[in-house]
Amino acid sequence: MQAFESKSSSADEYFKTDHLKTALRESAVRGAGATVFSQVLTYGIQMISTIVLARLLTPDDFGLVAMVIYIFMLFKMYRNLGLIDATIQKEKINHRQISTLFWINLVFSIVIALVFMALGPLIAWFYNEPKLKSIASVISVVFVFGALSTQHEGLLKRNMQFYRITATLIIATTTSAITAIALAWKGWGYWALVAKHVTFELATAVGVWISCRWRPGFPAFGTGVGPMLRFGANSLGSLTANYFSQNLDKVLIGWRSGTESLGYYDKAYQLFMAPTQQLAYPLTHVSIATLSRLCRDPERYRSYYLKALSMLAFIGLPMSALLALIGNDLILLLLGPQWKKAGVIFSIFSIGIGTQILYGTHGWLHISLGRTDRWFRWGIVGSMITVTSFLIALPFGPLAVAVAYIVSLHVLTGPCLWYAGQPISLKLHSVLSVIWKYYLSALGAGLLCWFILYSFDLTSGAFASLGISVRLVLSSVLCIFVYLLLIIGLYRNTKPISQFISIVREMVPSISRSKQNERKRPSDIMDS
């Protein structure tokens, strides 16, 4: 026991966050820089592996694994019991509490792994595909690897040590990609994709144990983890509800249309979610950690959130316009002609990329305010509406399901942000005031570019006759140029562009800037 306690005393830094309050803005911006850098790099690695694997494997291979993965993801949410966010959000924690949570996580994850393994035959029966039984058995070990990293990851994020997490994610992503490509090259087929998931979780667990010096002690009763468990339970409730709105479409398409149709739909969906995963999700824990420190200062809280929302809108909304414009050509270039059907679905999905990014920020508000109960309630309402749209569209095929998803997303975004902002008096008109010009500019740029490049081209066919790479470059340059012109016109200045450039510069570590900040008084840093 003394050995455990000595280890915990050497890692006391992970339980104290008072030092972050003297430079909260700088920590948040640097943390955002680390996570964005990590996600850009890991996205590049994942994209390369996707391109290679799409040529080594078939849509049927991807669809086969996806059948298990989207059921697996429901169980995966329960492996950490929502306790990463509880560790980040709670103002004061100690070694005994986190040790107790660690062992609860681990035991529960082992049970989940055994249950999922036992469900393998049922999954195979549901899809009428015997191969799924063995896939479910192998991939169940991911639950245990994930549980080993949960509290270490939470402590690193709580202390905004995002560069350590960055290094871990890059190494884990690279290792899993190389493993999958090597196995696919050797002819392992869909097992290469299974190995990719297992290798990533194992490498992540090893990485965070190296990056975080904290080691768990023995579990104990009376440590005050009850409120954290209740916080996590509400988080899980919301995540469970969100699961059905984000994944039931894949389960239904696999059940109704088979592995090949699911392979096309799943690949389009993954590419649709990539901007959110690479941009909004990485900033989630940075924003939660920052906003959690500002709960007692509502004015600064609202200001931080609205500025973050504005930057996400500036980037995410034009991304929707651009990818909807070039979606077909992008899929053909990256994945090859065998994935052409996925290109049409991806173009539909792309319309909602920016909205999806903004929608996801409602979780920042609920978690940082400690109101996961409200998050749970919204999750039920939102999921019911989205799932209903899936069921209505399912008889008309995968393309109709994609349209239904995007329509429900646009309908729900405004109400969800209004509801999430109520406890902090964040008004919907304040939210709309920082995003409407970006939305209008992106919509105008997308429609105008489509009209110029495709509507005029229907008779001559000159643009369509160009090579794919040339079409992609011309479309991208024109869309971005028109978007920036519309932004300048609506704002009557270049302030949004200069603000974005300024924040990007702050995200990049600078020795000279660090020395300058060291000379600042804490009050100066807080005022900045």
CA distance 434 to 421: 15
The DSSP string of 31-92 is HHHHHHHHHHHHHHHHHHHHHHHHHHS-HHHHHHHHHHHHHHHHHHGGGSTTHHHHHHH-S-
Q: What is the amino acid identity at position 204?
A: T
Element housing 345 (H / E): helix 340-350
Put simply, whether the predicted model's pTM sits higher than 0.75 gets the answer: no
Mean pLDDT of the 12-28 span: 52
Q: What is the pLDDT of residue 327?
A: 87
Q: Are the C-beta atoms of 508 and 32 separated by less than 8 Å?
A: no
pLDDT tens digits for range 340-396:
888 889 999 999 999 998 998 888 888 888 787 788 888 888 889 999 999 999 999
* pLDDT at 441 > cutoff 50: yes
* pLDDT at 516 > cutoff 50: no
DSSP 160: T
Q: What is the amino acid identity at position 233?
A: A
pLDDT tens digits for range 66-94:
888 888 877 777 666 555 655 665 556 66
* pLDDT at 230 > cutoff 70: no
Provide the 10 A C-beta neighbour count for residue 299.
10
* pLDDT at 528 > cutoff 50: no
Least confident of 52-56, 237-241, 267-271, 515-519: 515-519
Q: Calculate the alpha carbon distances from 505 to 2, 107, 212, 301, 494 in Å.
A: 46, 44, 28, 23, 17
* pLDDT at 149 > cutoff 90: no
Q: Decide: helix, strand or coil at residue 369.
A: coil
More confident residue, 293 or 345: 345
- How far the first Cα of the chain sits from its last, in Å, is 45
Q: Are the C-beta atoms of 290 and 275 separated by less than 8 Å?
A: no
* pLDDT at 284 > cutoff 80: no
* pLDDT at 224 > cutoff 70: no
Q: What is the amino acid identity at position 29?
A: V
Q: What is the pLDDT of residue 54?
A: 85
Q: What is the pLDDT of residue 322?
A: 92
Q: What is the pLDDT of residue 5?
A: 42
Tell me which residue of 300, 286, 476, 438 sits closest to 358, measured CA to CA: 438
* pLDDT at 522 > cutoff 60: no
* pLDDT at 170 > cutoff 90: no
Mean pLDDT of the 165-187 span: 90
Using 50, 70 and 90 to split pLDDT, how confident is the model at 450? confident
Mean pLDDT of the 246-257 span: 84
Q: What is the pLDDT of residue 282?
A: 60
Residue 478's contacts (CB-CB under 8 Å, 6 or more residues apart) are 449, 452, 453
CA distance 503 to 37: 13
Q: What is the pLDDT of residue 456?
A: 62
Mean pLDDT of the 33-37 span: 63
More confident residue, 493 or 517: 493
Tell me which residue of 247, 259, 124, 128 sits closest to 193, measured CA to CA: 259
CA distance 512 to 523: 20
Q: Can you read off the two tokens belonging to residue 348?
A: 């539909």
Mean model confidence pLDDT for the chain: 79
Burial track 440-457 (b if 16+ CB lie within 10 A, e otherwise): ebbbbbbebbeeebeeee
